[in-house]
Structure 1
Amino acid sequence: MIRFIGARILYVIPTLFAISLISYFIIQLPPGDFLTSQIASLEQQGQTLDPAYVDALRQRYGIGEPFWVQYGKWMGGILFEGDLGQSFEYGRPVTALIAERLPLTLILGVTTLIFTWVIALTAGVYSAVKQRSFADYAISTVGFIALAIPNFLAALLLAYAGFTLFGASIGGLFSPEYANAPWSWGKVIDLMNHLWIPVLVIGLAGTAGIIRVTRANLLDELPKPYVVTARAKGLPEGKIIRKYPLRIALNPFISTAGWHLPSLFDGEVIVAQVLALGTTGPLLLGALKSQDMYLAGGIILIIAVLTVIGTLMSDILLAVVDPRVRFGKA
Structure 2
Amino acid sequence: MLRYVVRRLLYMVPTIFLISLVAFLIISLPPGDYLTTLITQMRAQGGIDQGRIAALELRYGLDSPIYVQYLKWMQGIMVGDFGESFQLNRPVTEVLAQRLPLTVAIALCTLIFTWIIALPVGLYSAIRQYKVGDYLATTIGFLGLAVPNFLIALVLMYFGYRFFGMSVGGLFSPDYVDARWNIGKILDLLSHLWVPVVVLGMAGTAGLIRILRANLLDELRKPYVIAARARGIPERKVILKYPLRVAMNPFISTIGWVLPALVSGEVIVAQVLSLPTTGPVLLSSLLSQDMYLAGSIIFVVSVLTVIGTLLSDFALAWLDPRIRLRISR
**Distance in 2 (alpha carbons) for counterparts of 1:70 and 1:132:** 60
- Matched with 2:37 is 37
Query: Is contact 2:200–2:262 with CA below 8 Å preserved after alignment?
Result: no
**Distance in 2 (alpha carbons) for counterparts of 1:324 and 1:276:** 45
- Matched with 1:65 is 64
- Matched with 2:124 is 126
Query: Is contact 2:219–2:243 with CA below 8 Å preserved after alignment?
Result: yes
Query: Is contact 1:12–1:308 with CA below 8 Å preserved after alignment?
Result: yes
**Distance in 1 (alpha carbons) for counterparts of 2:91 and 2:25:** 21
**Distance of aligned partners of 1:252 and 1:187 in 2 relative to their CA distance in 1, 3 Å threshold:** closer
For the aligned residue pairs, the C-alpha RMSD in angstroms reads 2.1
Would you say 1:293 and 2:295 are equivalent positions? no
| Paired residue secondary structure (2:175) | coil
**Distance of aligned partners of 1:267 and 1:94 in 2 relative to their CA distance in 1, 3 Å threshold:** farther
| Paired residue secondary structure (1:319) | helix
Query: Is contact 2:152–2:199 with CA below 8 Å preserved after alignment?
Result: yes
**Distance of aligned partners of 1:7 and 1:192 in 2 relative to their CA distance in 1, 3 Å threshold:** closer
Q: CA deviation at 1:325?
A: 2.8
1:314 to 309, 312, 317: 312
TM-score by length of 2: 0.93
Q: CA deviation at 1:266?
A: 7.2
Letter in 2 for 1:56: A
Unaligned runs of 5+ in 1: none
**Distance in 1 (alpha carbons) for counterparts of 2:160 and 2:253:** 36
- Matched with 1:277 is 275
**Distance in 2 (alpha carbons) for counterparts of 1:261 and 1:9:** 20
Letter in 2 for 1:65: S
**Distance of aligned partners of 1:106 and 1:255 in 2 relative to their CA distance in 1, 3 Å threshold:** closer
- Matched with 2:175 is 177
- Which one is further off, 133-142 or 166-175? 166-175
Query: Is contact 2:208–2:250 with CA below 8 Å preserved after alignment?
Result: no
Quote the sequence identity (%).
Answer: 59
Count of residues in correspondence between the two structures: 328
**Distance of aligned partners of 1:143 and 1:109 in 2 relative to their CA distance in 1, 3 Å threshold:** same
Q: CA deviation at 1:161?
A: 1.4
**Distance in 2 (alpha carbons) for counterparts of 1:22 and 1:256:** 24
| Paired residue secondary structure (2:177) | coil
**Distance of aligned partners of 1:266 and 1:95 in 2 relative to their CA distance in 1, 3 Å threshold:** farther
TM-score by length of 1: 0.93
- Matched with 1:249 is 247
Query: Is contact 1:266–1:280 with CA below 8 Å preserved after alignment?
Result: no
Would you say 1:11 and 2:11 are equivalent positions? yes
- Which one is further off, 159-168 or 118-127? 159-168
Letter in 2 for 1:124: G
**Distance of aligned partners of 1:17 and 1:184 in 2 relative to their CA distance in 1, 3 Å threshold:** closer
- Matched with 1:56 is 55
**Distance in 1 (alpha carbons) for counterparts of 2:252 and 2:195:** 27
**Distance in 1 (alpha carbons) for counterparts of 2:9 and 2:181:** 40
- Matched with 1:328 is 326
Q: Deviations over 1:148-185 (max 9, x none)?
A: 01111111111111211222215211232332234455
Query: Is contact 1:110–1:264 with CA below 8 Å preserved after alignment?
Result: no
Letter in 2 for 1:38: L
Q: CA deviation at 1:113?
A: 1.4
**Distance of aligned partners of 1:69 and 1:319 in 2 relative to their CA distance in 1, 3 Å threshold:** same
- Which one is further off, 97-106 or 208-217? 97-106
Q: CA deviation at 1:264?
A: 7.0
Q: CA deviation at 1:282?
A: 1.2
- Matched with 1:194 is 192
- Which one is further off, 247-256 or 178-187? 178-187
Query: Is contact 1:109–1:267 with CA below 8 Å preserved after alignment?
Result: no
| Paired residue secondary structure (2:174) | coil
Letter in 1 for 2:128: K
**Distance in 2 (alpha carbons) for counterparts of 1:110 and 1:199:** 9
- Matched with 1:156 is 154
**Distance in 2 (alpha carbons) for counterparts of 1:223 and 1:14:** 42
1:111 to 94, 109, 112: 109
Q: CA deviation at 1:263?
A: 5.4
**Distance of aligned partners of 1:7 and 1:20 in 2 relative to their CA distance in 1, 3 Å threshold:** same
Q: CA deviation at 1:232?
A: 2.3
Query: Is contact 1:106–1:265 with CA below 8 Å preserved after alignment?
Result: no
Query: Is contact 1:102–1:265 with CA below 8 Å preserved after alignment?
Result: no
**Distance in 2 (alpha carbons) for counterparts of 1:274 and 1:326:** 45
